[in-house]
A and B are shown apart, each in its own frame.
Chain A
């Protein structure tokens, strides 16, 4: 009603030109302060990126991606091929193991379990496991798998990384499912769809972009893990595409191994491996974003 009676008057000036000097000063100051904070927050990220690119870019060449890793720290020159393949294979296998289980687990928690004691227990355990140091997962697999089959393998590393990723996938997926409005579920049920149909056809697609980015966060974290890999995977200089056949290696493990040496040649390789790892994670993020946006239900 008030808006109606206001009809004949000039609209209030919201441009801020007539603000008092003190208020406009406070406004400008706060805006500047916030912008400065953003800049400061972005500064370490920019410095890291700049440092890694400037020191690692010189190592990149075709040979860098295909040659075997030099056995000697002091030998100059390229070769990180086996570590790149190892990273992709081990992280890929870990994702294959953990993402389906994690997503289905989250579906149980949010769609079926809700506040049942079992669901609450799983939720708490997943929270606790998110905070467990990664080396614990490595030791768990070392004791439970490596010493049982008496061999360090790439698959053991994938298992350790999968254990690490699982709670992250569960919790992030559950958060995403919770964001899907209940009206969608009710509408689907109202049209006669069964619960599994609703979950599969409506809830999961609606949350797919969030699930993808959550899973990717887990993949990115796993790809950068060093400690569990060293314990469970061992070391190799040559290509080992078969994850079940003997020791393997990853980029993160190679960064650790090469960076702690005093020799310039191996330190260069460590920087190169760091840049390669960042590039791989970056590439995956972009690809996954594209896939997610294709499959997501249009937001209206």
Chain B
């Protein structure tokens, strides 16, 4: 109501004024009313995985509306969910779904998917680019059953390469991590042979090397001849790691890329609450190991101004913000899911 009245008033005023002013008024009407941008401060915290994207989006958004100060603190998914339950943030970022003991009560939040990103399997084997690995072999490598690069299982999927007998060293995250969770969940769901379970922390086989955060794993891979590890695309690209093509659900070997991730999202089944599982999604172009990430928004905000601010910022993430995603090495949502997310946002915060 308020918005309508102002817009009408703005148009009338603009019409009554000089021509140039009228043109200005018309422009701002198209952008759904510049005068109605929210000012104030909203804080979010949670997953570190999408931090690079949110940071880029927050900076770009500060140019759209400098009066709304948005802060996102990458404390980790579980810390973000807990803070959300304690009412310490206005929105939370999370890579995993909300469990019973995580903090937020059922019905008090809505998932809004924002972006997704592939988890690469990166390795260090000089002179051998684009190695193809099938799913069972990948499980074998990471649980220590396959210990050399010229193992018959690897030779079988790479007939054109004369693989050396270099020993394989597994590099993994030493800290508890959503990336580990998604990677192990993929192996757990996709293969029959994976025995190490799916969790934020895994008991890796003997002789494997841990690294702190994605950056640490990337460093281990760079420094260790014959190393292989799972790293997010941003770190793999920035560090210049060589990535393996992984077998997907359709049996095709696909290199990690943003397009292949968006394809995987399109092939994933979306639940009613907008949560979805893009791991091992159908489609010949889909990359198999794609991690989703969500923002949790409250179904009820005490402060109307904060509700409006959250709505405005998340709307930005789902519209213009999607164009920034690729720069930060994140995959934009496919059109259908994006529309669903926007609808859910508008429904939750009226």
Pairing of A with B:
yes
Mostly, the B contact residues are helix
B189 located at the interface, meaning its Cβ lies under 8 Å from any Cβ of chain A in the complex:
no
Contact across chains for A71 and B58 when beta carbons are under 8 A apart: yes
Closest CB of chain B to A254's CB: distance in Å? Answer: 12
Identity of the chain A residue whose Cβ is nearest the Cβ of B324 in the assembled complex: A72
B residues near A152, Cβ cutoff 8 Å: 43, 88
Chain A contacts for B22, CB-based, 8 A? none
Over the window 127-146 of chain A, the binary record of Cβ atoms lying under 8 Å from chain B Cβ atoms (1 yes, 0 no) is 00000000000000000001
* Proximity bits, A70-96, B CB within 8 Å = 1, else 0: 111111000000000000000000000
Give 24 pairs: A residue, B residue, CB < 8 Å, sorted on A. Answer: A70-B59, A71-B55, A72-B58, A72-B59, A73-B56, A74-B52, A150-B86, A150-B87, A150-B88, A151-B88, A230-B73, A234-B43, A234-B73, A235-B71, A237-B71, A246-B41, A247-B71, A260-B212, A260-B213, A262-B234, A262-B235, A262-B238, A262-B239, A263-B52
Distance of A72 Cα from B41 Cα, bound (Å): 18
Residue of B nearest to A75 (CB): B59
Q: How far is the CA of A146 from the CA of B60 in the complex (A)?
A: 31
Are B55 and A72 touching (Cβ within 8 A)?
yes
A261 at the interface (CB under 8 A from B): yes
Q: Would B74 and A257 count as touching, CB distance under 8 A?
A: yes
B41 to A, closest residue via Cβ? A246
Assess A236 versus B71: contact at CB under 8 Å? Given A71-B58, A262-B215.
yes
Tell me whether A147 is interfacial, beta carbon within 8 Å: yes
Query: Which residues of chain B from 5 to 43 have any CB-CB distance to chain A below 8 Å in the complex?
Result: 41, 43
| Chain A interface main SS type | loop
The chain B residue with its CB closest to the CB of A150 is B87
- For residue B78, give the distance in angstroms from its CB to the closest CB of chain A: 13
Cβ of B120 within 8 Å of any chain A Cβ, yes or no, is: no
Are the CB atoms of B238 and A263 closer together than 8 Å? yes
Q: Are B88 and A147 in contact (CB under 8 A)?
A: yes
Residues 236 to 254 of chain A near chain B (Cβ within 8 Å): 236-238, 246-247
User: Per-residue CB proximity of B56-68 to A under 8 Å, as 1/0?
Assistant: 1011101000000
Residues 270-302 (chain B) with a chain A CB within 8 angstroms: none
Q: Which residues of B contact A73 (CB under 8 A)?
A: 51-52, 55-56
A146–B88 CB distance below 8 A: yes
Give bound CA distance, A73 to B53, whole Å: 9
Instruction: Tell me the bound Cα distance from A237 to B45 in angstroms.
Output: 14
Shortest 10 CB-CB contacts between residues of A and residues of B: A235-B73, A71-B59, A72-B59, A262-B238, A262-B235, A71-B58, A72-B56, A72-B55, A260-B213, A73-B55
